[in-house]
């Protein structure tokens, strides 16, 4: 199914039992989104992260940067990532998200998809240090891409959302426990896209 847009801003299941989603396609104005994209593509310390896939380490098919408070060390795919310092632009974005959503964020994973060949495979943001019901606030900049969700057990429970420039998608509640999500490759000729996923890493829960 394709989720009709816009979703109500207070969070809905969007026909996906167990998923709580909030979507605002124009959360940032066009000019603000343009400025943020231009700032981040030059300012962030982009690199290719090594990830574990089917028992072996490979290069991730995108560029990434882990930004956050000093104690927000994050472990995923078998690797621990020490955060880089907040930039002014990301700090301002964090403050706005915290004020609007009423939850704290101490880190953000920035991913740069250089073209349609860069992608993100099926996964859930369910690492122990994120807690049992993490709030993941995802800001998209640049080329619009198709975001997929599918239930962990029920193959027919799946959905797609087109994420445009300046949009905000918030996943909360049991979404990470019940669903996986992905950003698939596409053969369309696309420009670069930056995705920012703000989250709270609890050092006390880190294994």
Tell me whether residue 8 is in a domain: no
Higher-scoring residue by pLDDT: 1, 183:
183
- Give the burial class of 126: count Cβ atoms within 10 A of its Cβ; 0-12 exposed, 13-18 middle, 19 or more buried: middle
pLDDT score for 11: 45
Q: What is the CATH number of the domain that holds 195?
A: 2.60.120.590
| CA count, 13 A, side-chain hemisphere, 182 | 15
- Over residues 24-76, the pLDDT tens digits come to 999 999 999 999 999 999 999 999 876 665 566 677 788 999 999 999 998 87
State the residue range of the domain holding 45: 20-205
In percent, the amount of the chain with pLDDT more than 90 equals: 73
Tell me whether residue 10 is in a domain: no
Q: How far apart are CA 13 and CA 20, in angstroms?
A: 5
Tell me whether residue 9 is in a domain: no
pLDDT mean across residues, the chain: 89
Q: Residue 68 in contact with residue 201, Cβ under 8 Å? A: yes
- Over residues 43-55, the pLDDT tens digits come to 999 998 766 655 6
pLDDT score for 81: 86
Residue 171 has pLDDT above 80, yes or no: yes
pLDDT score for 53: 58
How crowded is residue 38: how many other Cβ atoms within 10 Å of its Cβ?
Answer: 12
Q: Residue 194 in contact with residue 62, Cβ under 8 Å? A: no
pLDDT tier at 207, thresholds 50, 70, 90: low
Tell me whether residue 147 is in a domain: yes
pLDDT score for 86: 98
Per-residue b or e along 169-198, where b marks 16 or more CB atoms closer than 10 Å to that residue's CB = bbbbbebbebbbbebebbeeebeebbbbbb
pLDDT tier at 156, thresholds 50, 70, 90: confident
Q: Residue 19 in contact with residue 163, Cβ under 8 Å? A: no
* In the block, residue with structure tokens 């080329």: 143
What's the token pair of residue 149?
A: 């969700």
Tell me whether residue 156 is in a domain: yes
Tell me whether residue 116 is in a domain: yes
Split into its structural domains, the chain has a count of 1
């Amino acid at each position: 199914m394709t989720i009709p847009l816009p979703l109500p801003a207070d969070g809905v299941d969007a026909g996906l039992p167990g998923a709580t989603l909030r979507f605002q396609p124009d959360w940032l104005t066009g000019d603000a989104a343009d400025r943020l994209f231009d700032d981040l593509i030059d300012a962030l310390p982009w690199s290719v992260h090594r990830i574990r896939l089917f028992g072996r380490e490979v290069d991730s098919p995108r560029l990434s940067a882990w930004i956050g408070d000093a104690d927000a060390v994050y472990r995923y795919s078998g690797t621990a990532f020490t955060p880089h310092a907040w930039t002014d632009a990301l700090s301002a974005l964090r403050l706005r998200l915290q004020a609007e959503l009423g939850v704290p964020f101490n880190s953000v994973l920035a991913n740069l998809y250089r073209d349609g060949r860069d992608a993100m495979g099926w996964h859930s943001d369910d690492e122990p240090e994120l807690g049992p019901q993490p709030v993941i606030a995802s800001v998209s900049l640049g080329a619009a891409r198709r975001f997929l969700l599918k239930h962990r057990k029920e193959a027919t429970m799946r959905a797609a959302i087109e994420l445009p420039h300046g949009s905000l998608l918030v996943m909360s509640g049991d979404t990470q426990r019940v669903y996986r999500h992905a950003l698939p490759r596409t053969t369309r000729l696309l420009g670069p896209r930056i995705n920012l996923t703000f989250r709270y890493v609890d050092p006390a829960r880190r294994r």
